[in-house]
Amino acid sequence: MISNRWWKCYILNYNFKMKCVSNCYFTDICYQEVIDLSVQKGSSISIPCGYSSQFTSDKKYLYELSTSTKYSILDDKLRHVFTVTIRNLTDEDTCFLCGVKNRWLMEVSLQVLDAPSLYVDQQSITAVLGGSVTVTCHYAKRSSFKWCKLGSKCISKSGEMDGMEVIISTQWEMANVTLKELKEKHSGWYFCQNGGFQMPVNLTVMREITTAGEFGAEFYIWNSNR
């Protein structure tokens, strides 16, 4: 159950058009990460929510501040990440919290625009074991670009990340990120970061390219307007 103090803080910040949730000064229940997304109106977005291994078998939750019900959740119990997909994005889709059991895990703020500030050609990519793959990130602001692994580190220039070679090539409003010497352990969620926004990218490294299966999860949508 959500405490009244935390709920008041949440609504207050939302009404003043700040982040959905402030830093957790008023509650013992806290999210692990904040993601700010700039997304295109009418499109779909998939958002990863990580959780501790102790919650693998627990139900996953999505709390949202709009009346929309266009969501699906897939639970990767092996990597302890469940993915929320929101379809047909509108101006109402602005603020979400994903959680598990009685804990909120992550806040998601969406800026739905005709022309997003940061996007990728594909949110889901597949690569062959030992091979390489390139992700193209498009952005509108000429600020520093970073390539990050969810729950881990970010890099702003070519280098090594978790045993794979990462080559970052930036040009006008675009960055090409090439991942080399891929291993199965490199499968997971990454994201481009620029101008205060992030865009998640899911990488699957396989011995051979096949059609990926889906892992379903039981979930609930909590709507503040109900």
Same domain, 96 and 112: yes
151 phi-psi bin (left φ>0, alpha ψ -120 to 50, beta other): left
User: Residue 200 and residue 149: Cα distance in Å, rounded?
Assistant: 9
Boundaries of domain holding 129: 118-206
User: Residue 30 and residue 97: Cα distance in Å, rounded?
Assistant: 11
Render pLDDT for 40-64 as a digit per residue (tens, 0 to 9). 998 899 988 888 888 888 888 777 6
Same domain, 99 and 33: yes
The pLDDT, as a whole number, for residue 33 is 57
In this structure, the dihedral spanned by the alpha carbons of residues 125, 193, 39 and 64, taken in order and rounded to 10 degrees, is: 100
Same domain, 133 and 107: no
Residue ranges, the chain, pLDDT below 70: 1-34, 64-69, 102-105, 209-226
In contact, 125 and 133? CB cutoff 8 Å: yes
In contact, 186 and 205? CB cutoff 8 Å: yes
The pLDDT, as a whole number, for residue 19 is 38
Phi/psi at 109 (5° precision) = -110, 130
Same domain, 22 and 63: yes
The pLDDT, as a whole number, for residue 34 is 55
Render pLDDT for 141-170 as a digit per residue (tens, 0 to 9). 777 899 999 878 899 999 999 999 999 999
In contact, 110 and 65? CB cutoff 8 Å: no
Same domain, 53 and 80: yes
In contact, 94 and 37? CB cutoff 8 Å: no
> In sequence order, what are the residues at sequence separation of 6 or more whose Cβ sits closer than 8 angstroms to the Cβ of residue 109?
19, 20, 34, 35, 36, 37, 94, 95
Same domain, 21 and 95: yes
Same domain, 97 and 170: no
Residue 49 burial (CB count, 10 A): 29
Same domain, 171 and 80: no
Same domain, 173 and 106: no
Phi/psi at 160 (5° precision) = -110, 140
The pLDDT, as a whole number, for residue 147 is 95
User: Residue 179 and residue 161: Cα distance in Å, rounded?
Assistant: 9
The pLDDT, as a whole number, for residue 111 is 86
The pLDDT, as a whole number, for residue 209 is 62
> In sequence order, what are the residues at sequence separation of 6 or more whose Cβ sits closer than 8 angstroms to the Cβ of residue 196?
36
> In sequence order, what are the residues at sequence separation of 6 or more whose Cβ sits closer than 8 angstroms to the Cβ of residue 121?
135, 136, 138
Same domain, 45 and 57: yes
Same domain, 73 and 167: no
The pLDDT, as a whole number, for residue 123 is 94
Same domain, 27 and 89: yes
CATH for 166: 2.60.40.10
The pLDDT, as a whole number, for residue 36 is 87
Based on its alpha-carbon atoms, the radius of gyration of the chain, rounded to whole angstroms, reads 18
**How many distinct structural domains can be found in the chain?**
2
User: Residue 56 and residue 192: Cα distance in Å, rounded?
Assistant: 27
